[in-house]
Amino acid sequence: DVKVTQSSRYLVKRTGEKVFLECVQDMDHENMFWYRQDPGLGLRLIYFSYDVKMKEKGDIPEGYSVSREKKERFSLILESASTNQTSMYLCASSAPDRTPYEQYFGPGTRLTVT
Amino acid sequence: GENVEQHPSTLSVQEGDSAVIKCTYSDSASNYFPWYKQELGKRPQLIIDIRSNVGEKKDQRIAVTLNKTAKHFSLHITETQPEDSAVYFCAASQAGGGNKLTFGTGTQLKVEL
């Protein structure tokens, strides 16, 4: 059973703080993804990674960076948190060569920036 | 890049009725179209997917149809039940399964007793 975990379910940070969100998967998946979910906007891709130390920008990378030092761990970094980054953040992982090609999501981190 | 539009944003049906959610995509290179279901407070989960070489796929009460010419695909749920109440997301990928997805904005389905 695939397990994707995220470091926090709820997080409250102040404007300007550096924020780290961590995601760990235990299924040896090559691909990992960070999304943010906002009402009416669906799931928007921030960054993704196909391999260790590899990253690619998604649709909304501004204000974010990522790190993947180990295959099982993918971190999202907010260098200087702003109120417009208040959102639900979802991590996901997948194996591109294994059906049913599902992206397995973590439980999400609800981040509030005040 | 790819753009996926999804309609309607909310859908209310009576238990036992059918529900249809429609999506359009912009990039003709897209070749994989999954549907995810997200129950309240839970993570999204894949419920059905279709590849571009297939026009229709069924799994019990759910089915997906794909019209490549029109760049349109739909989710059909028959004999709806209260447990079908959730947010449904369509998505499209140019790189096949397991890779980068572009999601639609979601449809809140409510099945009323």
User: What are B15-72's pLDDT values in tens digits?
Assistant: 999 999 999 999 998 989 999 999 999 999 999 999 888 899 999 999 999 999 999 9
The pLDDT of residue A78: 97
The answer to whether the CB atoms of B46 and A102 lie below 8 A apart is yes
The answer to whether the CB atoms of B98 and A95 lie below 8 A apart is yes
Q: Looking at CA atoms only, how far is residue A42 from chain B in angstroms?
A: 4
- Residue B14 tokens read as 């009576």
Coil, helix or strand for B45? strand
Q: Tell me which H or E stretch contains A51.
A: none
Confidence bin at A19 (pLDDT 50/70/90): very high
| A61: number of Cβ within 10 Å | 15
The answer to whether the CB atoms of B43 and A100 lie below 8 A apart is no
- Residue B96 tokens read as 């096949």
Q: Is the pLDDT of residue A99 over 70?
A: no
The answer to whether the CB atoms of B98 and A97 lie below 8 A apart is yes
**Side chain identity, residue A26:** D
- From the centroid of its chain, how far is CA B63? 9
Distance of alpha carbon B30 from alpha carbon A10, whole angstroms: 35
| Interchain CB contact of B58 with A (< 8 Å) | no
User: What are B56-102's pLDDT values in tens digits?
Assistant: 999 999 999 999 999 999 999 999 999 999 999 999 987 655 588 99
B contacts of A60 (beta carbons < 8 Å)? none
Residue with tokens 């944003």: B9
Section A34-50 average pLDDT: 95
Confidence bin at A100 (pLDDT 50/70/90): low
The pLDDT of residue B57: 94
DSSP-derived secondary structure letter, A95: -
Contacts of A46 (CB under 8 A, 6+ apart): A34, A35, A36, A58, A59, A60, A61, A64, A66, A76
